Amino acid sequence: MLRIGILTSGGDCQALNAAMRGVVKGLATNVDNLEVYGFFNGYRGLIYGDYRLLTSRDFSGILTRGGTILGSSRQPFKLMREPDENGVNKVESMKSNYYKLSLDCLVILGGNGTQKTANLLREEGLNIIHLPKTIDNDIYGTDVTFGFYSAIDVACDAIDRIHTTAASHNRVFIVEVMGHKVGWLTLYAGTASGADIILLPEIPYSEKKIIEAIDKRHKEGKGFTIIAVAEGAISKEDAALSKKELKKKREKESHPSAAYRIAKLVEEKTGTEARVTVPGHTQRGGSPCPYDRALCTRLGSAAAKAIMDQKFGNMVAMVNGETKLVPLEKVAGKLKTVDPECQMIKEAKRVGISFGN
């Protein structure tokens, strides 16, 4: 008898169900006696014993279904070793529920914070397999995370639609794409949808350079400009401030986000109307794109093999087009950011895209 637990933690994305399906089908096809326990609402289910024995019916027809059939929640890693409001020791409670069910492995699907807790549980002696999920594509050790390409589709669609109305008005249109710390999603969506200016957290922008790029387009007879802005985009001046100083400055501002700061700058410096669009959580929603469905089937199958081979304590990554097991201890806590000197940035600049620097 093989018993596994499975949970999804952190922000949701389009391909969580597809990934879980891949794991379970990979095991069910090759293991005679299998029990799968699903923990509800992320680590909360593991902490408080909220779980259910799942059947094949639970994983039927979910390849194209967005969200997660198990639900999710955010449990900050920095608070994992602190008792909850009722004095419950979270780590010991998770271990207790793992051993209570006599699990052979716990499969954890999630992003960076989720991964750090997965590594913590590995250090506590549990058999762990992690699958890299995030629309931000910022997990270290894997070329791509599931959810990323599905989110690109949504962000691109938003910018594409802005293009049609932009062509009818002499305005600057700003689309704010998800990504507080990294700009992979904005970089890919902006490039794929023909944004004129792309602003990323990794490349602090010069207000002067943004205005110059807009003015250049106007002089060329182009009546509109489209700017793709990551949530975490920051000016060179703000980037030079300490966290405390920046927080104090933000508290005095009336702008809800980076896109609105850019809009105010544009209107003040150019006299041109600026409009902001924030796709927000639509970037996490809907069905997974075909690429993510195939990716999750591969990652899930590879996870199943790792479980059968008892190669625990690993993240299942995609490296150079091949699935690979990467030790959690080598990647947990690390962030994969956009290199400002990477080939893609250079190629984008070559075709006239400005990064505000």
pLDDT computed for residue 49 by the predictor: 96
pLDDT computed for residue 249 by the predictor: 83
pLDDT computed for residue 245 by the predictor: 86
User: Where do the CATH 3.40.50.460 domains begin and end in the chain?
Assistant: 150-284
Q: Which of 136, 138, 196, 292 is catalytic?
A: 136
pLDDT computed for residue 69 by the predictor: 93
Residue 6 bridge partners (DSSP) = 38, 107
Distance of CA 90 to the CA centre of its chain: 25
| Topology classification of domain 150-284 | Rossmann fold (3.40.50)
For residues 112-150, b (16+ Cβ closer than 10 Å) or e, as one string? bbbbbbbbbbbeeebbbbbbbbbbbbbbbbbebbbbbbb
pTM here is: 0.93
Of 3.40.50.720, 3.40.630.10, 3.40.50.450, 3.90.1150.10, the CATH number of 2-146+288-331 is 3.40.50.450
Task: Convert the pLDDT of each residue in 150-201 to its tens digit.
Answer: 999 999 999 999 988 877 777 899 999 999 999 999 999 999 999 999 999 9
pLDDT computed for residue 74 by the predictor: 87
pLDDT computed for residue 166 by the predictor: 79
**Under-70 pLDDT residues of the chain:** none
Could you confirm whether 238 is annotated as catalytic?
no
User: Where do the CATH 3.40.50.450 domains begin and end in the chain?
Assistant: 2-146+288-331
pLDDT computed for residue 170 by the predictor: 77
pLDDT computed for residue 89 by the predictor: 96
pLDDT computed for residue 254 by the predictor: 78
